[in-house]
Structure 1
Amino acid sequence: MSDDGVRTIRWGILATGGIAATFTEALLTLPDAEVVAVGSRTLEGAKAFAERYGIARAYGSWAELAADDGVDVVYVATPHSAHREATGICLEAGRAVLCEKAFTINAREAHELVDLARDRGLFLMEAMWMYCNPLIRHMLALIAEGLIGEVRDVSAAFGFSGDFPATHRLRDPDQGGGALLDLGVYPVSFAQLLLGEPDEIQAWSHLTPERVDDNTGIVLGWNDGAVATLTCSITADTGARAVVTGSAGRIELPEGFFNPERFVVHRQGEEPRTVLFSDVVADGLTRGTMAYEAAEVMRCLRADELESPLVPLAGSLSIMRTLDTIREHTGVTYPGVD
């Protein structure tokens, strides 16, 4: 139990890369969370990670971590290409799972994991931290109240530029490389959070010599007339910005739309109004960390909920279907899974 009498949730961390470190650091800020174990493909890597963060148990395989009965939930932080295997191992062993985005390589693998979790009666959630962000939730509530009228247009871009060698994971098809699954999942998820699964999908990509996308444009359409124009890139520093336009105004998220510090409301005939993260949050959690998605997982586990209403499995499956269709249009395939 934590100091306030709330049941402590014991976490296992599967993989030891940068995103695993970031998430672990967020967990360490939560008094009702305890990181008790870490698993990696090598015992040496797991021990180094455990020593860095004061974690009691280190395992040299994913299966050993999954078999640890002292773990309530496992955070899967592998590359996309290993999400199906790693999450499946944990679910088969009876562990709840929070799995990084993109949820899997394709919709088929995502359906397999969702079916397995439901068959076993286990909690499963995609780590789409944007959906758990309080300012995003506040924006959705304002839109639902009619602040900008009916949503007609969504635009979002997420891109950066780097000199990535052919061996880098972002260019490696065996690791689900390319801009789409790494960055494009955010604009697509943002659009579908607002408008649901699209009725029409068009896309174009420039492909690397390895045949993964490094610059992608996407147009989504809905039968009611709404549209979304989205981009993702590992060759253009577009930043991470978004605009939601309705029949009576618009909301601009000027930077870091998936983890915003503020948004600006523009309504017809009114002066622009800025809404800050600090205006809507008073829970003491730190903006910019993954603490909110971790807190949502722990709330669900304590309430015996098998999925989160903030990040429902049906939504994750829908996003994977959209990503699959985008890849069909752009010619990106992944060996051994498509």
Structure 2
Amino acid sequence: MSHELPVDDHDAPRMVLPAPRTPSLRDAPVLKWGVVAPGWIANYFVEALQKYTDQKVVAVGSRDAGRARAFADRFGIPSAYGSYAELVEDRDVDIVYIASPHSGHFEQAMQAIDAGRHVLVEKAFTRNAGEAEQLIEAARKRGVFLMEAMWTRFLPHIDVVRQVVASGLLGEVQTVIADHGLRVDPDPGHRHYAPELAGGALLDLGIYPVSFAWMVLGPFASVTAVGTKAFTGVDGQASIVVTGGSGAHGVLNTTVFARTPTTASVSGTRARLEIDGHFYGPAEVRLIGRDHELLDTFVPDLLDGGLCYQAAEAARCIGAGRLESDLMPLSETLSIMRVLDGVRRDLDVSFPGE
């Protein structure tokens, strides 16, 4: 959708939000999925696939065979394995979804790639850009599809945002504001506080506002960060200011010390977009004029099950013989991982074994 930008705003046509271009979830080719690490995010993923898509989950793998079997029984999954190696060698599996903590992504994704399986890897993609680069190179050599499971990128309301920004409806974008914070009780065993699991706010929560700002602003010309470490040495809070190539600013925050609004906004010279919390999940988008008047509102059809959209995108890409998604290209995943690496350097945070 495109909009002409008149010189005189008094002559402007009524400003409205476009409809999302998101394809039907059930039109995607049906793949057979294997799930690595049957934790809480894997639960949400499989629930969404079974409720809203025709995708088939045929196998689950865990280091604990009993845990894998319990997960398989809960969702009616035919095969359960007590190792990740067994899962990726299952020839009935087309694509593997990596749902483990960040510390396991590299090794488990590489196992799947080496076995010739397509791979969807939970965000953040890896612990660092070096690991990301190796996975991307391996997938391209093996000729398999690889994508970061940044589920936000594939949601209908985010397609509305993409269209509006591209159309110039907002005028010249000046400021992007986004945050993601949760209050996580201080517990050294909790994954958010565990260095050995690549814990901290940034990779688990902060990647959402960073990825959103990159999508709107394009590659960052500069990144400045301040932060506070948690008691285990991981990043507990980070505030990040970025600039896009046009000079527009992104003001981003993430924390495990407090629950924040988890909203986002994109402000231009003519209008702004506001996205309710949680902006990274299915959410309402409002178009607001310069005088703070509500011009239009988009409300998605589905307010749950948002993880299904990334699976449908992967299936469509694989069905078309493509090795990556235009909505979350591997070059962008790698660039964002480099930004996160730089923020961690600014905060003097590293993980064991890096």
TM bucket by the smaller chain? over 0.9
Secondary structure at the aligned position of 2:220 is classed as coil
SS at structure 2 position matched to 1:69: coil
Q: Which AA in structure 1 matches 2:146?
A: L
* Contact 1:215/1:236 (<8 A) preserved: no
Question: Where in structure 2 are the equivalents of 1:67-216 lying within 5 Å?
Answer: 67-216=89-238
Runs of 4+ deviating beyond 6 Å: none
1:334 and 2:351 correspond? yes
Q: Tell me the residue number matched to 1:222.
A: 244
Unaligned 5+ residue runs, structure 2? 1-25
Q: 2 CA distance for matches of 1:317 and 1:233?
A: 23
In structure 1, distance between residues paired with 2:70 and 2:299: 36
Q: What's the offset of the Cα at 1:292?
A: 0.9
Aligned to 1:244: 266
Once the two structures are TM-superposed, the CA of residue 123 in structure 1 deviates from its matched residue by 0.1
Counterpart amino acid of 1:314?
S
Displacement of 1:209 in angstroms is 2.4
Q: Distance in 2 between matches of 1:234 and 1:176?
A: 14
Q: Which moved more, 1:25-34 or 1:55-64?
A: 25-34
Distance change (3 Å), C-alpha of 1:268 and 1:177? same
Partner residue of 1:300?
A: 317
Question: Once the two structures are aligned, what percentage of the paired residues are identical?
Answer: 44
Q: Contact (CA 8 Å) 1:166, 1:172: kept in 2 or not?
A: yes
1:315 aligns with 2:315: no
Alpha-carbon separation, structure 2, partners of 1:161 and 1:137: 30
Distance change (3 Å), C-alpha of 1:175 and 1:228: same
Q: Secondary structure at the residue paired with 2:119?
A: strand
CA contact (8 A) 2:276 2:283 kept: no
SS at match of 2:280: coil
Q: How far, CA to CA, are the matches of 2:278 and 2:296 in structure 1?
A: 15
Partner Cα separation in structure 2 for residue 253 and residue 5 of structure 1: 28
* Alpha-carbon displacement from aligned partner over 1:128-173 (angstroms, at most 9, x marks no partner): 1110001111121022111111211111111111313111111011
SS in 1 for 2:106: helix
Secondary structure in structure 2 of the residue aligned to 1:162: coil
* Residue number among 242, 253, 257 corresponding to 2:279 in the alignment: 257
Deviation at 1:183, TM superposition (A): 0.3
The answer to whether the Cα contact below 8 Å between 1:253 and 1:260 also exists between their aligned partners in 2 is no
Equivalences, count: 329
**What secondary structure does 2:111 align onto?**
helix
> How far has the Cα of 1:223 moved from its partner?
4.4
Deviates most, 120-129 or 238-247: 238-247
Provide the rounded CA distance (Å) in 1 between the counterparts of 2:340 and 2:210.
Answer: 8
Q: Which amino acid aligns with 1:319?
A: I
Task: Report if aligned partners of 1:160, 1:239 keep a CA contact under 8 Å in 2.
Answer: no
> 1:81 is matched by which residue type in structure 2?
S
**RMSD of aligned residue pairs (Cα, Å):** 1.6
Tell me what 2:60 maps to. 38
TM-score in terms of structure 1 length: 0.94
TM-score when normalising by structure 2? 0.89
Deviation readout 1:242-293 (Å, 9 max, x if unpaired): 1111121211113111124211111235731342234xx5xxx664431111
What is the SS of the residue equivalent to 1:306?
coil
TM-aligned CA deviation for residue 5 of structure 1:
9.4
Q: What is the CA-CA distance between 1:214 and the residue it aligns to?
A: 1.1
Change (3 A) 1:173 1:256: same
Q: Which stretches in structure 1 are left out of the alignment for 5+ residues?
A: none
- Asked if structure 2 preserves the Cα contact closer than 8 Å seen for 1:259 and 1:288, the reply is no
- The whole-number CA distance in structure 2 between the counterparts of 1:222 and 1:132 is 22
- AA aligned to 2:230 is T
SS of match in other structure, 2:182? strand
Bigger drift between 101-110 and 131-140 goes to: 131-140
